[in-house]
Amino acid sequence: MTEQAFSRAVECYGDMLYRIAFHYCKNRADADDLVQNAFIKFLRTKKSFESEEHLRNWLIRVVINDSKKLLVSPWKTRHEALEDYAQTLYAGQPERSEVFFAVMELPQRERVAVHLYYYEGYSVKEIGALLGENPSTVSTRLASARKRLKSKLKEAWNSDE
């Protein structure tokens, strides 16, 4: 693989993978490790990708699988105060900070489903395929997450979406 092709993949998918990883582990260092590991696997794989969508879904699957492994690992010891990170991200933007904390307080499975749905634009069926779960389970998680977000964010979160 050429450096140019690799750089293009990093440019296209680096931030997307980081956000997904962060929704799992809730700290910057682990999220960066997970993304770096995904791109190392990308460099080493002999797999040929049929399309951009194929590559994108493969990278997401790698990050999801590695994130799940990390969360059950006895060696996971990193913790980060979300307040510090939110301060650097949303200084002077209380509305965004509020949404950030409300999402981070969701249970991990709901948090990831919400992110894939609202940010990445995946359908319930596609999220089910990525997470290896039944679409009806994903729907239930999304409904539960919406309820929690509405309860936390009040009028800042619409109840009909």
Partner 1 sequence: MTNKQRYQDTFKALHASKERLGKVYFMENKRRKFYVGRVLAVAAIVAALLTVSAFAANAVTDGRLFEAITFTVNGEVTNLTPQEDGSYTFDTKDGVHGSIVARDGVVLQNDDGTVVESTYEVEVDSDAAVSMEMELSGVDVQAGDVPGTFEVRESAE
Which positions touch partner 1 (CB under 8 A)?
3, 6-7, 10, 14-15, 17-19, 22, 28, 31-32, 35-36, 39-40, 43-44, 89-90, 95-96, 99-100, 103, 114-115, 118-119, 149, 156-158, 161
Q: Which is nearer to partner 1, 2 or 74 (CB)?
A: 2
Min dist. Cβ of residue 143 to partner 1 (A): 13
Q: In whole angstroms, give the CA distance from residue 80 to residue 33.
A: 14
Q: Considering Cα of 49, then 55, then 57, then 63, what sign does the dihedral take?
A: positive
Torsion of CA 28, 65, 120, 146, to 10 degrees: -90
Q: Which is nearer to partner 1, 82 or 129 (CB)?
A: 82
Q: How far is CA 52 from each of CA 9, 13, 70, 99, rounded to the nearest angstrom?
A: 10, 10, 27, 31
Q: Which is nearer to partner 1, 3 or 50 (CB)?
A: 3
Q: Which is nearer to partner 1, 6 or 151 (CB)?
A: 6
Residue type, 106: L
Min dist. Cβ of residue 42 to partner 1 (A): 9
Min dist. Cβ of residue 94 to partner 1 (A): 11
C-alpha triplet 68, 141, 24: angle, nearest 5°: 25
